[in-house]
A = this chain, B = another copy of it.
């Protein structure tokens, strides 16, 4: 049996990826050591970093070079070979790190690369790459762990229609905050409102006036995932003792280098706290708690998971482009094979 793996063929120019970015290679099925498993991949996670790590000028932390296998923040699929008693053949498993391809060898006992047995009766498979995966954990860290958010405060969530922002806003609602999203376009804003956000501002048509209307008394808490003009505007509206939880700056991942940031005098004058986070490894020990709580909230309908799917490893570049262009709603995935558990 052969498997298919996705390699980086060439680094892209600024702008969309093309079919020349990745190279699909047939390879022999890897041998399993004791307590390893082979997962037939059904879904792969696509993130802002999927584009960022192909950009040697961008700010993203991890860089890929031609000849390296493409990687991402998780795969979910069916166990098709197993030398691990907790992961029998025919069961399902999710990871939070993935080498892109049709199959993935995993070592569930390696704490550096967690693998979870997942029950498709409890949550759909794709949710394990979204609300229950690193995406959800990023939102959870930014809202619950990195900086305090109190009930009744006004929280603003950037990139609110994105996978992380959508979950972050739902968490902020669970926390009891008044939650305002920022997203691009009226369809996305409608989607964000449908998630239970109190309002959503379309940054393409109504950023400054809209945000001032939605936050007449200013902003207490900001979930930052974009950078640029939105960051500057939000900073200028932060209230005394406000908190800005820094998850990322998507706006600058694609080729623009590092544009200047906002003047920070307001950090002094309003006694603000700005704090960045990488959910792993800093908060790794909270991952179990996050999954248990979010699983319960999914069941209660207090958190909703959505995903956008592009089918086929040969279209991996289009999945990355869909995310970069903001065409996705919820979590962007590459679907690698039919999901036998989907209704």
Contact = CB atoms under 8 A, between A and B. Distances in A.
Interface in A255-293: 258-278, 282
B267 A264 contact: no
Contacts of A263: 59, 227, 249, 252, 258-261
Contact of A271 (B248, B260, B278): B278
* Copies of this chain assembled into the complex: 2
A264 B61 contact: no
A276 B269 CA distance: 7
A203 B261 CA distance: 22
A277 B59 CA distance: 29
A231 interface: yes
A268 B246 contact: yes
A222 B264 CA distance: 14
A254 interface: no
A200 interface: no
A272 B262 contact: no
A5 B262 CA distance: 40
Interface in A268-323: 268-278, 282
Interface residues of A, number: 31
Contacts of A261: 260-264
Nearest to A253: B265
A268 B266 CA distance: 19
A247 interface: yes
Interface in A194-220: none
A278 B249 CA distance: 28
Contacts of A231: 264
B268 A278 contact: yes
Contact of A268 (B262, B273, B277): B277
A111 to B, nearest CB: 20
Contacts of A59: 263, 265, 269
A53 to B, nearest CB: 13
Interface in A40-74: 59, 61
A261 B232 CA distance: 10
Contacts of A266: 276
4 tightest A-B contacts by CB? A260-B260, A267-B276, A268-B276, A258-B263
Interface of A: 59, 61, 227, 231, 246-249, 252, 258-278, 282
15 contacts: A59-B263, A61-B269, A246-B264, A246-B267, A249-B265, A258-B263, A260-B261, A261-B262, A262-B264, A264-B276, A267-B276, A271-B278, A273-B273, A273-B274, A273-B275
Given A252-B263, A271-B276, 10 more contacts: A59-B269, A227-B265, A247-B268, A249-B264, A260-B262, A262-B264, A264-B274, A271-B277, A273-B276, A274-B275
